[in-house]
Amino acid sequence: MRMRFGVLAAAFAAAAAVCVTALAGAQAPGVTAHTIVIGGTFPLSGPASSYAPIPVGMKVYFTHVNASRGSDHKRGIHGRQIVWKYYDDGYSPPNTVQQTRKLVEEDHVFALFGGLGTEPQQAVTGYLNQKKVPQVFVSTGATEFGTGQTAHPWTIGWQPDYVAEGTIYGKYAAANWPTKKIGVIYQNDDYGNDYLTGLKKGLGAKSSNIITTQGFAVTDTSVAQQVAAIRASGADVIAIFATPAKTIQTYATMKALRYRPEQVILNSVSATDTFMKAALANADAATVDGSISTAYLMDPKNPKYANTPGMKLYKAQMAKWAPQADLNNGLYLYGFAKAWDVAKALSLAGKNPTRTKLMKIVRHMSWTNPLAIPGVKEKTTPGDPFPISQLKLIRFTAATGLWTEFGSLINGRSGT
Amino acid sequence: VNGRRFPTGVAAAILAAAVLAVLPFFLTDTHQYRFAFVATFFIAALGLQILTGYAGQISLGQGGFMLVGAYVTTILSVDHGWNDLATIPLAGLITGAVGFLFGFPALRLRGVYLALATFAIPIVLIALAKADWASKYTGGVGGKALPHVLSGHEAYIRTWPIAGGMFVLAWLLLRGKLGRSFRTIRESEIAAVSSGINLALTKTLAFGISAFYAGVAGSLYAIVIGFVNPDTFAVGLSLLLLIGVVVGGLGSLVGVVAGALFIEYVPLYAPDILRWVEKPLGSPLDPERAGAPAAVYGFILLLVLYAFPTGIAGLLRRAYKSLAGSSYTQRRAEYPSALPKKEKA
């Protein structure tokens, strides 16, 4: 018996050795003569499924790339078709871990792009870095996907991080409302705390203007207590640092309590068309009107961008490949814009892309995305691992249901 | 009477152990990793089988107890430098104690009311893990990463020996007086009390043992995933475990294996199944549509329950009976008392 096992083990070792030799000298994992396989995990079902349009927006752009000829007159990236594989993880780490291993070990992806969610992506960061598989442009603004580059060289974020965004609100408040009292309602976790940290940083010497901070747990059913406390404090400005559902609830509670602060600051995650519509429906125009937020991508609903090349491409390709999709849902545009960067990076990685080359490119980015607000640069250096750091302030007009940009571009990470 | 069925059971167990021992030679690393998940579901579902299948107490809280075990392991290994495997017994015991305490309020409730009360277990424990004062230890909503990332093979060889041990332990516990007490309570509490069974102690003990299993499972779950956050243990996990037990067959320890495989593999391959079904039908089903995999999962679940309500274990038992054929009928006539218990849906 022992003998048999020995033979068996030897056979396996031989087979493994053959496989290894076959791989050596061949192309990078996921890259063949005609295809390049990439993937990601997204919450297509479950509590965070409102983000499901993101991978669809990405798919539409990749389909467009596969169908059109590049400057080398070949379709796809250097003649290779992009195979975009994405799986549902339901925003749950055990699923993310399994689906990510499936992508790496069974689908043999070249790299992972745009994986969504702070905790789900944290759960696979260790694994991917151990395997040296690029985890590029994760869809979360948690600061650590940028700051952790020494420990996790194969991981990089994309959008402005939450601290940077909070800093912009702080700077704006310090400059424009130097004497106004600020009340903050925030989700008491990494996400909300990142924003609060940023706000205080931006206010600097004026951070004593914050007269109350009211935290709530995601699991809380109501935010009435927090809104009432801010109302009682007599704050002139309310800053809402919450996920969409709780933001809508906050607006509704403000209306119910007849609390009308002079100004409302709203984090960008909740400031999209879909959620603002819901806020208007659950509160009223007077409460929501004039809210301030930030943006770094074009708003598909804003007529001023209708004739830009980027927006034209987005609308044409979406109509072609995803005709049922709601074009005004900014999450499709988010996916589309991100996929533009993915294709750009893959193209720059050359005819014989390797994972190392790809990481080198995304750590030395310097270009502009056609769907970003004009002037926003995508730039990374070894000392600055955050691809997008510039934002523009935007103000909501209830009557038209539109966000309007005002002021100039602000770099949230300058001086941090 | 026991002696007559004993050899078949032992033979099956030895065969299963042998299969599990050689399986790693034939599975890819990814599948070994999935089997490690199967092992953790197996342990948690074994505990639930003892509580629900044997003692007759429905619980929708098993996933919540897993949270306790997972955090004991995470906190000890991340913040106090323990070897993660060394934390498993403690994780089991602490969770067992929590389960034992929960058993007291559960004494007053039965059936559906008990199920509803146990529904609160994951909800309360998740809220506790996220609470401000606990965040210092648990990492709050953001969760915590464990120090090691395991390969599929490493995960397999850490989980299955423990799962095997837990199975033997369950078998030993249930074959004696305790198992008999559990079954009596399940059939009739009045009969149990009148035959001298301490109802309160036996029920709370069932909860304690069940939670001990959940604690060990949760601890391994954390080790295998390498990351823990409270929402991992949401109510859905508890429901899956109960479904696994029912699919495997209530009151069958062996059936739990099938249940655990079901929990792990069906959702994973649901989109593929959908694609495969879609081809000949040419139907407009979109495998990538949100919720489509859940629909497949639900359909298979209904099919299993409808076609073999006694679970996969019941199905195997029936197959065995028809294979054994005449000799079985003969034995039945000779030893009426050896009749297997009437299967319950």
- Closest alpha carbon to A385 in A155, A201, A120, A166: A155
Which residue of A88, A189, A218 to mutate against B (max B Cβ within 10 Å)? A88
Stated pTM of the model:
0.86
pLDDT band at B3 (very low <50, low <70, confident <90, very high): very low
User: How many Cβ atoms are within 10 Å of A271's Cβ, its own excluded?
Assistant: 23
Nearest-CA distance from B234 to chain A in Å?
9
Nearest-CA distance from B291 to chain A in Å?
6
Q: In this complex, which of B126, B225, B289 lies closest to A97 when CB atoms are compared?
A: B225
Nearest-CA distance from A117 to chain B in Å?
11
Q: In this complex, which of A93, A101, A219 lies closest to B229 when CB atoms are compared?
A: A93
The reply to whether residue A105 touches residue B28, judged by beta carbons under 8 angstroms, is: yes
Q: In this complex, which of A119, A127, A188 lies closest to B229 when CB atoms are compared?
A: A119
Is A308 near chain B, with CB under 8 Å? no
Is A218 near chain B, with CB under 8 Å? yes
Task: Report the C-alpha gap between A40 and A43 in whole angstroms.
Answer: 10
Is A119 near chain B, with CB under 8 Å? yes
Q: What percent of chain A has pLDDT over 70?
A: 93
Q: In this complex, which of A49, A101, A102 lies closest to B290 when CB atoms are compared?
A: A49
pLDDT digits (tens, 9 = 90+) for B119-163: 999 999 998 998 878 888 998 888 899 988 999 999 999 999 999
pLDDT at B343: 47
Report whether pLDDT(B281) > 70. Answer: no
Report whether pLDDT(A416) > 50. Answer: no
Is A149 near chain B, with CB under 8 Å? no
DSSP codes joined into one string, B107-170: TT--HHHHHHHHHHHHHHHHHHHHSHHHHHHH-GGG-EE-S----HHHHHHHHHHHHHHHHHHH
**Spatial contact of A63 and A321, defined as CB atoms under 8 Å apart:** yes
Nearest-CA distance from A120 to chain B in Å?
9
Report whether pLDDT(B344) > 70. Answer: no
Residue with tokens 């502009």: A368
Report whether pLDDT(A20) > 50. Answer: no
Q: In this complex, which of A49, A52, A127 lies closest to B149 when CB atoms are compared?
A: A127
Task: Report the C-alpha gap between A238 and A288 in whole angstroms.
Answer: 12
pLDDT at A190: 80
The reply to whether residue A98 touches residue B131, judged by beta carbons under 8 angstroms, is: no
Nearest-CA distance from A64 to chain B in Å?
19
pLDDT at B283: 53
Task: Report the C-alpha gap between A346 and A342 in whole angstroms.
Answer: 6
pLDDT band at B317 (very low <50, low <70, confident <90, very high): confident
pLDDT band at A10 (very low <50, low <70, confident <90, very high): low
Nearest-CA distance from A286 to chain B in Å?
34
Q: What percent of chain A has pLDDT over 90?
A: 72
Which residue of B288, B296, B297 to mutate against A (max A Cβ within 10 Å)? B288
Report whether pLDDT(A414) > 80. Answer: no
**Spatial contact of A246 and A279, defined as CB atoms under 8 Å apart:** no
Q: In this complex, which of B141, B289, B293 lies closest to A218 when CB atoms are compared?
A: B141
Task: Report the C-alpha gap between B40 and B38 in whole angstroms.
Answer: 6
Q: What average pLDDT score do residues B288-311 get?
A: 76
Q: In this complex, which of A52, A106, A126 lies closest to B145 when CB atoms are compared?
A: A126
**Spatial contact of A388 and A372, defined as CB atoms under 8 Å apart:** yes
pLDDT digits (tens, 9 = 90+) for A266-276: 998 888 888 88
Task: Report the C-alpha gap between B11 and B17 in whole angstroms.
Answer: 10
Amino acid identity, residue A114?
A: G
The reply to whether residue B28 touches residue A106, judged by beta carbons under 8 angstroms, is: yes
pLDDT digits (tens, 9 = 90+) for A295-335: 999 999 999 999 999 999 999 999 999 998 999 988 999 99
Q: In this complex, which of A12, A102, A190 lies closest to B25 when CB atoms are compared?
A: A12
Q: What average pLDDT score do residues A145-163 get?
A: 92
Q: Is B33 helix (H, G, I), strand (E, B) or coil?
A: helix
Which residue of B138, B231, B232 to mutate against A (max A Cβ within 10 Å)? B231
The reply to whether residue B145 touches residue A122, judged by beta carbons under 8 angstroms, is: yes
Nearest-CA distance from A34 to chain B in Å?
24
Determine the residue of chain A that is closest to B265 in CA distance: A98
Nearest-CA distance from A321 to chain B in Å?
15
pLDDT digits (tens, 9 = 90+) for B27-76: 999 999 999 999 999 999 999 999 999 999 999 999 999 999 999 999 99
pLDDT at A135: 97
- Which residues are CB-contacts of B56 (< 8 A; sequence separation ≥ 6)? B182, B185, B186, B187
Residue with tokens 């915590």: B144
Query: Which ranges in B150-188 belong to alpha helices (H)?
Result: 152-175, 177-187
Which residue of A56, A118, A219, A321 to mutate against B (max B Cβ within 10 Å)? A219
pLDDT at A73: 86
pLDDT at A18: 46
Task: Report the C-alpha gap between A68 and A66 in whole angstroms.
Answer: 6
**Spatial contact of A296 and A390, defined as CB atoms under 8 Å apart:** yes
Task: Report the C-alpha gap between B313 and B260 in whole angstroms.
Answer: 13
Phi first, then psi: what are they for A410, rounded to 5°? Answer: -125, 135
User: Of the spans A49-58, B183-192, B210-219, which averages the highest pLDDT?
Assistant: B210-219
Is A108 near chain B, with CB under 8 Å? no
Nearest-CA distance from A318 to chain B in Å?
17
pLDDT at B110: 82
Residue B97 structure tokens: 């104690």
CA B230 to chain centre: 19
Report whether pLDDT(A49) > 50. Answer: yes
Burial class (CB in 10 A: 0-12, 13-18, 19+), B97: middle
Report whether pLDDT(B91) > 90. Answer: yes
Residue with tokens 């596969």: A66
Cα end-to-end distance, chain B, whole Å:
24
Q: What average pLDDT score do residues A209-235 get?
A: 91
pLDDT at B269: 78
Task: Report the C-alpha gap between A69 and A76 in whole angstroms.
Answer: 7
Q: Is A45 helix (H, G, I), strand (E, B) or coil?
A: coil
Is A397 near chain B, with CB under 8 Å? no
SS3 content of chain B, % helix, strand, coil (to 5): 80, 0, 20
Q: In this complex, which of B226, B231, B271 lies closest to A127 when CB atoms are compared?
A: B226
Phi first, then psi: what are they for B311, rounded to 5°? Answer: 80, 180
Please, how many CA atoms are within 13 Å of residue A156, restricted to the half-sphere of its CB? 31
Q: In this complex, which of A94, A105, A119 lies closest to B29 when CB atoms are compared?
A: A105
Biggest alpha carbon–alpha carbon distance for chain A: 84
Report whether pLDDT(B337) > 60. Answer: no
Mean pLDDT, chain A, whole residue set: 90
Cβ-based contacts of A191 with chain B (< 8 Å): 141
The set of long-range contacts for A71-80, using a CB threshold of 8 Å and a minimum separation of 24, is: A76/A36, A77/A36, A77/A343, A77/A346, A77/A347, A78/A347, A78/A350, A78/A351, A79/A34, A80/A31, A80/A32, A80/A33, A80/A34, A80/A35, A80/A36
Is A153 near chain B, with CB under 8 Å? no
Task: Report the C-alpha gap between B338 and B345 in whole angstroms.
Answer: 21
User: How many Cβ atoms are within 10 Å of A174's Cβ, its own excluded?
Assistant: 16
Q: What average pLDDT score do residues A361-380 get?
A: 95
Q: What number is the ipTM of this complex?
A: 0.86
pLDDT at A5: 52
Look at A222-226, B140-144, B269-273 and tell me which has the smallest mean pLDDT.
B269-273
Is A123 near chain B, with CB under 8 Å? yes
Mean pLDDT, chain B, whole residue set: 86
pLDDT at A405: 93
Residue A240 structure tokens: 């809402």
Cβ-based contacts of B152 with chain A (< 8 Å): 101, 105
Q: How many residue pairs bridge chain A and chain B with CB atoms within 8 Å of each other?
A: 93
Task: Report the C-alpha gap between A159 and A25 in whole angstroms.
Answer: 36
Residue A310 structure tokens: 């980027």
The reply to whether residue A93 touches residue B140, judged by beta carbons under 8 angstroms, is: no
